Amino acid sequence: MAVNIKRPNGTEDVTPKDIHKWHTVEKIARETAETFGFSEIRVPTFENTDLFLRSVGETTDVVQKEMYTVKAKETEFTLRPEGTAGVIRAMLQNGMLNEALPQRVYYIISCFRHERPQAGRLREFHQFGLEMAGSQSPAADAEVISLAKTLLDRLELKNIELYINSIGCPSCRAEYHKALREFFSARKDELCDTCKERLEKNPMRILDCKSPVCQDIAKNAPVILDYLCEDCSTHFEKLKKYLTKLNIDFKVNPKIVRGLDYYTKTVFEFVTTEIGAQGTVCGGGRYDGLIEQLGGQHTPALGFGMGIERLLIVMDKQNCDYLKPRKCDLYFATMGDEALEEAMEFSSKLREFGYFAEYDIMGRGLKAQMKYANKIGAAFTIVLGENELNEGKAKLKEMESGEESEIRLNDKFPAAFEEIYMNKMLGSLEEETNNGSLFAFTDGTD
């Protein structure tokens, strides 16, 4: 009896027909980050569980309900639920914070959270994220927010709004916690069981609860901005000034607290209304105490995470441009073993030039081969048979127009093909550019 094995619930396959969309986001994300001085970092998919308990926070939904944890003999590991903790651990362990500051790194990773799968929320999801360590200036906050805004603009996303808030420092937040406890204690019996525990440990987490009852109660809760100390208030006012200088529109939303405990001062979200309840496509902020909490010297830091699946949902809805998928440059349709051997040799030489060359390995007839070449979108085809081999020349057919050119089958073949190919590509590129296509004749592998 055949076994019907399917992918785990809450995960997705990315097949070749859609991979160019991912290449688009990844390519533009990398290029944007690097223009701001960020370099790529790669860290393990799993970390010691204590790392996330110490950084993310024991009262968060992530730690209490969503982590995938595995025990291997005496060691306990957790698949990363987010990127910041592992990257900061890597910075510390590899001595990066002893080098010139600020340290700027970006990453493209998969993350794992056990939650109810829905549109824009998966159990395995992917993020583009970055971290900047070493600067306490609100100018650094504006720089990181500007990078996120630049990336969203380069992806041609529309109707994305930026919301900012300050959740203060441990000093002013202590006074805010007192006010929250007093407010929520009056309706403690109505809170969900999780929030009843949060009331004593971290009442700000109640503001982030997904329970409709808790959300309704929290509507009239005290606002953090009314409790900021002078330093936090000045920091926030300067951030608003810098964003205005950068022509970045924003709205202050005092309800933003973010879902992880390590945040301090600035928090922000880029939000769209086009993908339902899961409308946050980018979220981040400052976490000035995290590095010290993980064993390092006090070092201010900040960053963000941007969900790639959510970006792609919005891009599809808005019909954004994507990098064009790489297609076959030249397909050899062969008749007979000798022609097949010649096609192999010519394809090998073309690939050395960087071209995508293909020939029949299915034993198809000529008509079926040409049908296949058309199906895969080959730009050019050559039919190789006994006559072509005896004469040392063949017809190079441009599939879109049907135009044919005679081409010699000798050592100069790759260069001759390149000349014809480039003339066609340059002409088509000019036409595409005039039509306003941003990604004409580009693929996600470059």
Q: What is the 3-state secondary structure (H, E, C) of 123-159?
A: CEEEEEEEEEECCCCHHHHHHHHHHHHHHHHHCCCCC
> Lowest-confidence range among 48-52, 92-96, 157-161, 433-437?
433-437
Full strand arrangement of the beta sheet holding 46-48: 46-48, 75-79, 69-72
Q: What is the pLDDT of residues 28-42, one digit of tens each?
A: 999 999 999 999 999
The helix (H) or strand (E) run that includes residue 232 is: helix 230-245
pLDDT bucket at 441, cuts 50 / 70 / 90: very low
Query: Comparing C-alpha atoms, which of 351, 356, 332 is closest to residue 343?
Result: 332
The CATH number of the structural domain formed by 330-425 is: 3.40.50.800
Q: Dihedral sign, CA of 438, 442, 444, 446?
A: negative
User: Domain residues of the chain, as ranges?
Assistant: 19-169+229-317, 330-425
CA distance 269 to 305: 10
pLDDT bucket at 442, cuts 50 / 70 / 90: very low
| Total residues found in the chain within this entry | 446
The pLDDT of 145-165, averaged and rounded, is 96
Fold designation for 19-169+229-317: BirA Bifunctional Protein; domain 2 (3.30.930)
The mean of the pLDDT values for the chain is: 90
Report which of residues 102 and 68 the model is more confident about.
102
The pLDDT of 132-158, averaged and rounded, is 97
